[in-house]
Every structure is written in C-alpha cells, then in structure tokens.
A and B are shown apart, each in its own frame.
Chain A
C-alpha cells in the first residue's frame, strides 16, 4: 500500500444535484397500467458541469420488480431512465475516483411521479408537464489524500447560479432565502428563550417565597 498522505485540516466540498423527473405516458405506446410514467433519475453537477473527475460510477438500486434492479452507470451522464407506475425509494451509491480512497457514499431518493401541488398559479398541474423532485447537496471531503486534492483543485466547481429561475431550482438566491429564514428562526427562538428564562426566574422567586 502506497503511503497515503491526507491533507490535515482541509475540507473540500462539491455540490451535486440529484433527483428525478417524470412524465406521464399516454396510454398508447405500451402504456398499460404498469407503465404510466417515464422517469429519469440522475446525479449531476450544478449547471450540468462535469463531475466525473471525482465520481467514478454511480449505482442506482431500483425497486426489485425491475429487471436488473442494480443499474451501474460508469460514465456521465449518471442517470437511469425507466418506465413504471409506482413511486419507491431509490438507493444511490456514489463511487468515487479510486485515487480519493473514499468509501462509496449512499444517498436515498424517493421517486416522484405524481404532482402533489398545483403549479403555483392556482391551477392544477398540467397533464403533460414533467414532475420533478431534485435535491441539492454537497459532498464534503474531509482531509483528502493529496493526489486527490490536486485533482479537486484542478476542477473547481462552477458556482451555483445566481437567481432562481424555472430551470434552476437551486441558486444563490434560494440559499440566501434559506439563510434568512433560518436567521429569523434563530431570532425568534432566542427571544423566546429569554422570555421563558425570565418567566422561570419569576416563578422560582415566587415559589421560593412560598
């Protein structure tokens, strides 16, 4: 085993977007009750950038009723397209570039086929519009091996897009909004904590006097 030197104290993150998109199939082409939707589950980088420099392959474990439920995709785009009728949990196992020496990472994604909400305009979801469910996440490499680190450095990730658009669900704007929400929650909780502390003190004093 070669000497593995890890970069102490260093931590790098790479954002990914994973999830699925599904369109309903018209009854015609083999569209029996078993294949009401065509869906694609994918793992990609933000802005569709290349992630194959640190991801070696992605293994999607589909529902057992599918043939070959273990679909392993070894080159980009890391996605699987299938047809079916039901929603189920897909186990996504990301195998990293072997230079990284990292164990494969497991993600879970619930396949979404049916729209649960209206499209924001008060109308029910239009029939042909694809239903999507994507999640943003960041893969953090703690103390990467130095050779892997250089690879990561060479391929810096492009930033998440600035604004929220119909195409880009995850943007800096979205992040900012989240931060603001959290800040508001922080403030509220802090206030409540103070309030309740005061209350406690008062009650304690009262109790002590009795």
Chain B
C-alpha cells in the first residue's frame, strides 16, 4: 500500500512539513471505563441517543377522595335485603341505586280464567299449557329463542329427578331390562315409585312396562300415588317395582309458540278495546301483533336456503342477469312477508352474496358480461368546475378496443362522433358506446366458449378417429380462433345477419375433421 512518503518519492516532492496527524485517539481515559467514556466523554461517536422512556410522573396534585362503607337497598328486589358497598363520601346517600333503572320488564297482557274459557280456547292448547307459556314469556322477557329452548310441557322435571335418583341408587332390576329394550336410559327405567313419591306428583305409576305405550298423564298434579306395587313382575330385586312413566314432552316450534301468543294478544286486544274511541290505537296494536305462522315458516325456510347456498349456486346467480330465473331456483316464490325485516334481510343477503363474488371475480372471467343492460345515465352530482366542449367529453374507450368499437359503429350506421352534440344526444351516445363495449365482451366470451367446446368435441372425436384427424381439426379450431379475432376487425354483416365476430369454420359444427376453410372476408 502506498503511503504518503512513497507518493512523494515517486513525484519527487519534498517532504512536506505539515504532516497531518489523522485521528489520534486518546488512550485510556482516566477515572472512568473506556466504554463509558465512549458514550459520554470528549470524543463521543455520533450515534443517535435514544431517550429512555420512563413512566409518566405520578400526578399527586389531586386530593385524596374519601370513601365510606354504606348500606343500600336495591328496589328491584322484592325482599328487604340490605347490602353494603363503598361509595364516595360526597354522593348523596339517598340517591336511587344506580342500576335500578336498568331493571326493565315487559308488560305482558295477562288473561283471567274467565276470559280464557270464553274467548281463548284452542283445541291444541290447554289452559295449563297456555299459562305455562305465559309464565315463560314473563320470565324470559319474551325472548323467544330462550323460551323455545326452555319449553317443556308436560314438565319432565320431576321425572328427571326420579330418574336421577333411581339410576343413581341402582335399585332397579326389571323385567324390561332382561328384555333389553333399546330405549335410552331416560325412558326405560322402571323405578321403585315409592321412594320417588317424595315431591313429585306427576309420576304416575303405570301397570304396563314403560317401554312402548306411555299414556299421557293428566297435566294436573296427579295425586301422589304412593308406590303401588301394581303389576310386579318377577321380583328379582328386593323392592317392588313400578314403572315411572315418562310422558314425552310435546315439542313445540317457535312459530307455534309465537302463534299462540300473538293470537291470544290479538283476541284480548279486540275484546278489551271494543270501545270505538280507541279504534285507532286498537288498529295499531293489532297490526303490531300480526303474525302469520305459515309465512314465518316459509320465510325461515327461504333464509335457510339462502344461507346454505353452495358456491356453485352463488356463481350461477352472479353470472346471470338479475331479472332472470335460475334453473336451480329451488326457493318457492315467497309472498310478501308481514315482517318487513325478513324481506330486507333476504334482499341484502342475496345482494351480499353477489357483491363479494363480483369483487372476487376481478381479473378472471368477463365480469362485464354480468353488468345489467344499458346502465342509466350517470347523475352529474360531481361537477368539476370549468368550461369544456361537449363533444370533447365522451367517455373514452380503451384504445385496444377502439377499432372494434368503430367498426361496430359503422355497422350500426352511426358516425364516429355525433353530429349535433346536445345534452340528450351525448347521453345517448354514451349509452350506445357502453352497450357496444358490453356486446363485444359478451361476443368474445361466446366465441371463447364455442372454441372451447369445439376443442372438447375434437378431443372426444379423436378418441374414436385417428390422431391425424383430430390434430387437423384442432388446427382448424385454433386457426378459427386466430382468424376470428383478426376477421372481426372488419365487422361485416353476414348472411344470417350475425353481428360482428364470426368464426371461421363455424359451418362445420359437427366437428368432422374436414379441410380447413379459410374464409377471409374483405370489406
């Protein structure tokens, strides 16, 4: 490596007096460690210094708040329970308990037994069951989902307890066990009813084996029948047997429950507001209680169909124009539902289905093919200030398509730009342009499909015929593809009035490998 002295020798320069001392580092700072000196000393290297972030300083200016341990009552409670909690000393002790206002409850119309017997009878419902439903509605604030889930009539609670008890104690060895009934544990057991008699009035004791035909009990509290050792079967157990008869709960759908509830409400409203002065109010209330069970079932079924659409069906929906009926449209035409929410939901969900699939379709298939027919004129809400010439503000066409568009215009008998560009004319002009573009896209798609179809047919054909035939046929199809796009540059009308792009060799749709027909059309 050449040093300064060497260079000077080469150039025969005098040795310079000024010898610059480059970067003489100080050695061994005294008193502090070398690393520390490098950070905070004389010759600190220029490295960014990251300020350490400490916790923000504690703000002790605020005075301490006094809290007291106070008793309080919750008006929502129906007992006189007094609890305590910490409260800031300054708040008013007599103030209402802050969470009381949140304890809202539903105003349920309730019926009296007389009203029930005179107006509200229903073949499918007993008064007890109706009262039970009412009780559930009150308890669960008319939340139907919960009500339907909790709904159990006739109540199986006691039976369940009995089952638990007996199963737990393993007291039962019964004939039916030896018969090995296939019922699940809940239904099969034969229990010693005597022990179970505690508390449950509804365990009827049945003579026959419990497996097959449970008879309904009176829903009313059956008299606690002590274990009648009726019908003892071969008593292999020490205890006598009796069958706990489980009456299966009648399953009611949510629509069922709602129907009953709203029906009763409507009737009661009609009865109680028979006064003419309340007619308007009555009508309003009645309309709010309109509930059509069948419609609801239909509506929910349709929503389910919508929900469980397979992706293929979504694709089908997307590709076809909005107005057309799909072949796979399994949803029956629904009447306008009473609940407007249902309709809105259906509309939005179907459009939601369409929108994401449209968005995802992006560069893929011909998305413009799914656009609706001539879109309406764009509302000029966004006006850019300035002056312009109307004929100069035409929606620009992609330059690649321009030629085709122009030939389409020629075919339609239109000039390349309108002769009298007034507002209406220009609006229509834009429409025509966009129509032409759409049409060209669709045509392209159709041609692609045709050629694909042809290729597939050729392939099928080639399985039978020789390979040479198929290759020439393929060649013709391929040439048709190339020629078609070139030939479309001059859009001439065909014999059959075909509009625009015509494939070569479309005459031989049969797919027979014939001579390649090269029809060059000159205009």
A: residues with CB less than 8 A from B are 6, 8-11, 13, 15, 96, 100, 102-103, 105, 107, 135-144, 170, 174-175, 178-179, 181-186, 188-190, 192-194, 196-197, 199-201, 203-204, 206-207, 210
Contact = CB atoms under 8 A, between A and B. Distances in A.
B429 interface: yes
B306 interface: no
B391 to A, nearest CB: 5
B286 interface: no
Interface in B349-406: 369, 373-374, 380-381, 383-391, 393
Main secondary structure of the interface of B (DSSP, over half): helix
B268 interface: no
10 contacts: A105-B388, A137-B391, A179-B424, A185-B412, A185-B435, A189-B412, A194-B373, A200-B369, A200-B446, A203-B449
Interface residues of B, number: 49
Given A142-B387, A185-B412, A190-B435, A175 B445 contact: no
B453 interface: yes
Given A6-B385, A185-B414, A179 B439 contact: no
Nearest to B428: A182
B422 A192 contact: no
A137 B421 contact: yes
Closest 7 CB pairs of A and B: A203-B449, A189-B435, A143-B385, A182-B428, A102-B387, A196-B442, A185-B412
Q: Looking at B388, B423, B452, which has the most chain A CB atoms within 10 Å of its CB?
A: B388
Contact of B373 (A96, A102, A135, A193): A193
B449 A13 contact: no
A142 B390 contact: no
Given A140-B389, A193-B438, 5 more contacts: A9-B383, A137-B390, A175-B425, A197-B321, A204-B449
A197 B446 CA distance: 8
B65 to A, nearest CB: 55
Contacts of A141: 386-387
B413 interface: yes
Contact of B389 (A137, A143, A170): A137
B269 to A, nearest CB: 51
Given A170-B420, A186-B432, A207-B453, A179 B385 contact: no
A42 B113 CA distance: 98
B209 to A, nearest CB: 58
Contacts of B381: 9
Contacts of A138: 389-390, 421-423
A136 B422 CA distance: 9
B450 interface: yes
Contacts, number: 140
Contacts of B438: 189, 193
B432 A189 contact: yes
A76 to B, nearest CB: 19
Contact of A142 (B321, B384, B413): B384
B419 interface: yes
Contacts of A194: 373
B146 to A, nearest CB: 46
Interface of B: 319-321, 369, 373-374, 380-381, 383-391, 393, 412-414, 418-425, 428-429, 431-432, 435-436, 438-439, 442-443, 445-446, 449-450, 452-453, 456-457, 460, 499
Contacts of B436: 189
Q: Looking at A100, A192, A201, which has the most chain B CB atoms within 10 Å of its CB?
A: A192
Contacts of A135: 391
A90 B137 CA distance: 86
Given A196-B442, A207-B453, A103 B385 contact: no
A206 B460 CA distance: 14
B428 A183 contact: yes
Contacts of B387: 96, 100, 102-103, 105, 139-142
Contact of A196 (B320, B418, B432, B446): B446
A210 B446 contact: no
Contacts of A175: 420, 422, 424-425
Contacts of B443: 196
Nearest to B424: A179
Contacts of B431: 182, 186
Contacts of B386: 102-103, 141-143
A210 B422 contact: no
Contacts of A8: 383
Nearest to B499: A192
A186 B388 contact: no
A75 B374 CA distance: 45
Contacts of A105: 387-389
B312 to A, nearest CB: 10
Contacts of B374: 186, 189-190
A107 B456 CA distance: 54
A179 B419 CA distance: 10
A183 B373 CA distance: 14
B413 A185 contact: yes
Contact of A181 (B391, B414, B445, B453): B414
B481 to A, nearest CB: 15
A178 B417 CA distance: 11
Nearest to A204: B449
Nearest to A197: B442
Contact of A197 (B369, B420, B422, B424): B369
A139 B389 contact: yes
B239 to A, nearest CB: 70
Contacts of A200: 369, 442, 445-446, 449
B108 to A, nearest CB: 54
Q: Looking at B386, B424, B431, B435, which has the most chain A CB atoms within 10 Å of its CB?
A: B386
Contacts of B449: 200, 203-204, 207
Contacts of B442: 193, 196-197, 200
Contact of B420 (A136, A143, A186): A136
Given A6-B385, A140-B390, A201 B320 contact: yes
A59 B6 CA distance: 75
A186 B446 contact: no
Q: Looking at B390, B420, B435, B438, which has the most chain A CB atoms within 10 Å of its CB?
A: B420
A107 to B, nearest CB: 6
A139 B432 CA distance: 22
